[in-house]
């Protein structure tokens, strides 16, 4: 007899990123959809990985990550944000930021707990909360600036609120949290048991001289926070699926309890390669804003004559484009049409909302070579 299967995630299908990347491949469209670079990570980093694989660094790493990499992470967050993280008790290396997010939520959210997210929200948050028996409370960000309406947050907070998930720089809108946002956040969580999960995977992709307001700059907020980052984004190696979490020791202890039964450890030679590269090239992070700002501006210049309205992008490697002058299709239909008929893949925004406002935006990823960006823009300018 066929056993009855009761799905724990009945409403979850294949992610939009997988769907669009497959469609782009099938249609041979330029893929400005999924967020990954079409260029490689630094030569030295890749050379170090080959070195460690060849030299036999191929067995399990320690649960929290190799000490040298945790020390490098601690010294980076000290240098950039002034936060003193103990490498032994507050830094955990994980196979991808996604795993850290899963572990942080699973460690802290239980049945009936509420977790506040801001829509459009990155797609892994809600399913993880659901697997824990929690309830996701969605607060929409309003176009075109996609800032947080803090009154709505205050109204949503209740004794059931266990966690607020922040994401700055924000995927898919590129919006940044400001120092004023942090001040208001302080007021909101003061005298509560609310935990914070700060998804900062685009921490180094901040433009026009602006500052990334990492939670790591705020020691009082850090008492209740998990801060998550991704080496994939920072070193152009998304396929290495390696990231880290910085959190105070009490929270780190709980996160590691889950981590040890999800993956147990990250991949050993990758950790050694990253540790060597961080030690040899600490300036890589400092050079990233100029590197990606140039790409953003090349794309914007190439799109100048298009009928898309390009929304200012202060962070991430995503560019939102409003297309109501071109079509009144829904964003899902628009993306299908762009990919199938016009040869450029993009990502719709409404899929990241619980209830999408009436709007016409698509997201383009500009982590691509100059030639790719110019070629895609040429096609888009014909519309
Ligand atoms: C906002 C956000 N969080 C987390 C992740 C996942 O990062 P990783 O590939 O390191 O798991 C991504 C990847 O696209 C992302 O955009």
Q: Which two tokens stand for residue 217?
A: 């700059």
Q: Is the four-CA dihedral 155, 166, 320, 346 of positive or negative sign?
A: negative
Assign 138 to helix, strand or coil.
strand
Q: Per residue in 53-94, pLDDT tens?
A: 999 999 999 999 999 999 999 999 999 999 999 999 999 999
What pLDDT sits at residue 13?
86
How far is 6 from 3, CA to CA, in rounded Å? 10
Average pLDDT over residues 234-242: 98
Residues 180-203 have a mean pLDDT of 98
- Dump pLDDT digits (tens) for 114-147: 999 999 999 999 999 999 999 999 999 988 899 9
Going by C-alpha positions, the residue among 25, 21, 58 that lies closest to residue 36 is 21
Cβ partners under 8 Å of residue 234, min gap 6: 203, 204, 284, 285, 288
CA trace torsion 303, 22, 168, 11 (10° rounding): 130
Q: Which domains are delineated in the chain?
A: 16-41+284-381 (3.90.1150.10), 59-280 (3.40.640.10)
Tell me, what's the pLDDT at 201?
A: 98
pTM reported for the whole predicted model = 0.97
Q: What is the pLDDT of residue 1?
A: 86
In the predicted model, what is the mean pLDDT of residues 249-253?
Answer: 98
Rounded distance between C-alpha atoms, residue 11 and residue 337, angstroms: 25
pLDDT value of position 113: 98
- For atom 16 of ligand 1, which residue has the closest CA? 171
Contacts of 127 (CB under 8 A, 6+ apart): 9, 12
Ligand 1 centroid to Cα of residue 201, in Å, is 6
Distance 230 CA to ligand 1 centre (A): 7
Angle (CA) 16 26 7, round 5°: 35
What is the spatial distance between Cα 213 and Cα 219, in angstroms, rounded to a whole number? 12
Give the pLDDT score at 34: 87
- Going across the sheet that includes 161-167, the strands are 91-94, 243-246, 225-230, 195-199, 161-167, 114-119, 135-140
Give 97 Cα–ligand 1 centroid separation in angstroms.
6
The CB of 97 under 6 Å from ligand 1? The reply is yes
Q: Please say if the pLDDT value at position 195 is more than 90.
A: yes
Ligand 1 in reach of 95 Cβ (< 6 A):
no
Buried b or exposed e, range 135-165, using 16+ CB within 10 angstroms: bbbbbbbebeebbbebeebeeebeeebbbbb
Helix (H) or strand (E) segment spanning residue 310:
strand 309-310
DSSP result, 204-268: T-B-TT-----GGG-HHHHTTEEEEEEHHHHTT-GGG--EEEE--HHHHHHHHHHHHHHTSS--H
Best mutation site among 230, 234, 236 for ligand 1 pocket (most ligand atoms within 8 Å of CB)? 230
């Amino acid at each position: 007899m066929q056993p009855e299967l009761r799905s724990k995630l009945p409403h979850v299908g294949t992610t939009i990123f997988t769907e669009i990347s497959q469609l782009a491949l099938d249609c041979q469209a330029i893929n400005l959809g999924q967020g990954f670079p079409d260029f490689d990570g630094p030569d030295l980093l890749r050379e170090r990985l080959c070195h460690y694989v060849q030299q036999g660094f191929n067995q399990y790493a320690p649960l929290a990550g190799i000490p040298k990499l945790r020390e490098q992470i601690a010294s980076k967050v000290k240098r950039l944000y002034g936060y003193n993280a103990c490498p032994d008790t507050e830094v955990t290396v994980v196979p991808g930021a996604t795993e850290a997010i899963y572990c942080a939520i699973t460690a802290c959210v239980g049945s009936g707990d509420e977790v506040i997210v801001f829509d459009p929200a990155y797609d892994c948050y809600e399913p993880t909360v659901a697997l824990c028996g929690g309830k996701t409370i969605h607060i929409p960000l309003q176009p075109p600036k996609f800032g947080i309406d803090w009154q709505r947050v205050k109204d949503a907070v209740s004794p059931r609120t266990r966690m607020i998930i922040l994401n700055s720089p924000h995927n898919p809108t590129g919006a940044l949290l400001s120092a004023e946002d942090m001040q208001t956040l302080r007021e909101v969580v003061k005298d509560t048991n609310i935990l914070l999960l700060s998804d900062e995977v685009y921490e180094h992709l901040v433009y026009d001289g602006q500052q990334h307001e990492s939670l790591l700059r705020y020691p009082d907020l850090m008492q209740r926070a998990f801060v998550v980052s991704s080496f994939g984004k920072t070193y152009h190696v998304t396929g290495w699926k390696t990231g880290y979490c910085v959190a105070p020791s009490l929270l780190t202890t709980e996160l590691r309890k889950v981590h040890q039964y999800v993956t147990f450890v990250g991949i050993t030679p990758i950790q050694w390669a990253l540790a060597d590269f961080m030690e040899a090239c600490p300036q890589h992070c400092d050079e990233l804003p100029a590197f990606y700002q140039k790409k953003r501006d090349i794309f914007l210049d190439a799109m100048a004559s298009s009928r898309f309205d390009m929304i200012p992008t202060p962070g991430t490697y995503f560019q939102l484009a409003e297309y109501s002058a071109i079509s009144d299709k829904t964003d899902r239909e628009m993306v299908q049409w762009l990919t199938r008929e016009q040869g450029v893949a993009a990502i719709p925004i409404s899929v990241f909302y619980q209830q999408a406002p009436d709007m016409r935006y698509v997201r383009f990823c500009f982590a691509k070579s100059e030639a790719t960006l110019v070629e895609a823009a040429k096609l888009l300018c014909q519309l």
